[in-house]
Chains A and B, each alone.
Chain A
Amino acid sequence: MNPTAYRITYFFKEAIKNVRFSPMLTAISIFTMAGALILVGFFGGLMLATDDLLEGVAEDLRVTAYLNPEISDAEIESLSKLILARDGVEEVTYISEEADRQRAKELLPADILEGLDPGDLPAAPTLEIALEKKRRLNHEVDELAHWLKDLEGIHRVAEIEFGIERIRLGMAVVDTFEVLAWVLSIVLLIAAIFFVFSTIKMAVYARSDEIAILRLVGATSQFIRIPFFIEGVFQGLAGSIIAYIAVLYGHSRLNTYIQTQHLLDVELNLAPGLLVGWLFLGGILLGFLGSYLAVGRYLKV
């Protein structure tokens, strides 16, 4: 090992000594950090999972425009181009009368179709129009349907039967809930920084004599400060680990609850990789921030 490696070993030893010197305060600090991160992690995961579900619904959302049966191919093509040129429209798919009939055949249960001549099934040439993903659940869908109704060659526009209003309400509730969860998380995160700050402040005070002596024997400012930073980062990391375990546990419990109590075949991923990454990074950064503020304020070397 080179001198830097020995110094790093020394810094870690000192940080551990500090933790052992004030275990109670360190524990409070770690658990506050964990509490804040659990909230962020759990609600963050829930938000992401809900967004995923709603996006899945939006994925299938199309506006179906039934065309006049006597419409010509040239008219269909010009109509498609006109619709595709509209702002926000992502895709226009033409379905012939025969394809529409075939689709109906596939959708209807076999017992209903029994004894029916497939040629008698009602069908019409249609255009299926998809908006850009982010616009599929807002008022632009209604505006598009309204606009389509007035176009020449369009017989009627299918009612949007996907419970879009309910989905919108669900999204509004989720959005409100999200804001509240973020506010609560921020309050707790500030509290966590404060606790790390206080722990490091106490450690600096408790070691003030030692720090003075270290200065006298030639310790640099970094040599004295680094163990305190490590201590802060350690608290953040420990909080992150606790939060990660709690979020994973919550995830498993919630999925079990949804699947057994509500009999839904849904698997919510409350701890996606990105969120876990942020959880750990967040913990480390918050721990560092708390110690950095305390050292900057109370350790004058």
Chain B
Amino acid sequence: MIQLYHVNMRYPNGVDALHDINLRVREGEFVYLCGPSGAGKSTLIKLILAYEQATSGQVLVAGRNVQVLKASSIPYLRRNIGVVWQDFKLLNRRTVFDNVAISLEILGLRPREINRRVHQILEVVGLDRYATTMPLMLSGGEQQRVAIARALVNEPTLLLADEPTGNLDPELSVEIMNLLLDLQQKGTTVMVATHDRSLLERYSQRRILLNRGHLIEDGLSSGGTMLDADDEEVSHR
């Protein structure tokens, strides 16, 4: 589903975000993207989403080379990718329902179908009763769940989540993680960027560890020593 070959990323301000990243995520896989703040997790997600373009190297998503993708084709790539952002990125002038429905309106679905699917997914994330509420009236955790609902509503083949449980209490975090795992069970490829140690310990999955833009470990998460770093900078190997 995702293939990265010798990917380097340097921002216009001179910051080197990623160094020679080689990575392969298979279809239907669940992957943690770990590392401290500034490790390059968000940059990697942006490259996969064609939000940023790598300085060099190749990024392939669902068989498409993002590096050479025409600007007019990018929206169609993104329609197959659900994204949960750390800062939610919700439309604050629209209701919870509208926020979730937007992914389906873009596809031109019938209002009845949109209504059915939005209410269904809001029920899954436990927010159906807030359908007509404005996002800013909700708590951080609830807003996060709206973002998750929006990412899942069009049943994407790939789900990218940047700290999806960062604003949730432990109980809700477990619920959301179960939801993501359930999605993976149904065939969706899931990539979760996190530095939540408890999450990694609880759910043993493939873990890709980044630090200062370098890929320093790729293996199963099991609460190992590297996770002790948590928010601290991981020593470079």
Interface residues of A (CB under 8 A from B): 1-4, 6-7, 10, 17, 21, 209-210, 212-221, 223
Contact = CB atoms under 8 A, between A and B. Distances in A.
14 contacts: A2-B108, A6-B111, A7-B105, A21-B93, A214-B106, A217-B102, A217-B103, A217-B106, A218-B76, A218-B78, A218-B81, A219-B75, A221-B75, A223-B75
A220 B89 contact: no
A232 to B, nearest CB: 20
Given A3-B109, A4-B108, A6-B111, A218 B89 contact: no
Interface of B: 49, 51, 71-72, 75-79, 81, 83, 85, 89-93, 102-103, 105-111, 150
Contacts of B76: 218
Nearest to B81: A218
B103 A220 contact: no
A82 B95 CA distance: 86
Nearest to B102: A217
B52 to A, nearest CB: 12
- Name the residue in A1, A218, A221 with the highest tally of chain B Cβ atoms < 10 Å from its Cβ: A218
Give chain A's interface secondary structure class.
Answer: helix
B108 A218 contact: no
- Name the residue in A2, A210, A212 with the highest tally of chain B Cβ atoms < 10 Å from its Cβ: A210
Contacts of B90: 213
Contacts of A209: 91-92
Given A210-B91, A221-B72, A216 B83 contact: yes
B89 A219 contact: no
Contacts of A1: 110
A7 B108 contact: yes
A213 B91 contact: yes
Contacts of B72: 220-221
- Name the residue in A212, A215, A216 with the highest tally of chain B Cβ atoms < 10 Å from its Cβ: A216
Contacts of A10: 105
A217 B109 contact: no
Contacts of A210: 91, 93
Contacts of A21: 93
Given A210-B91, A210-B93, A217 B78 contact: yes
Contacts of A217: 78-79, 83, 102-103, 106, 150
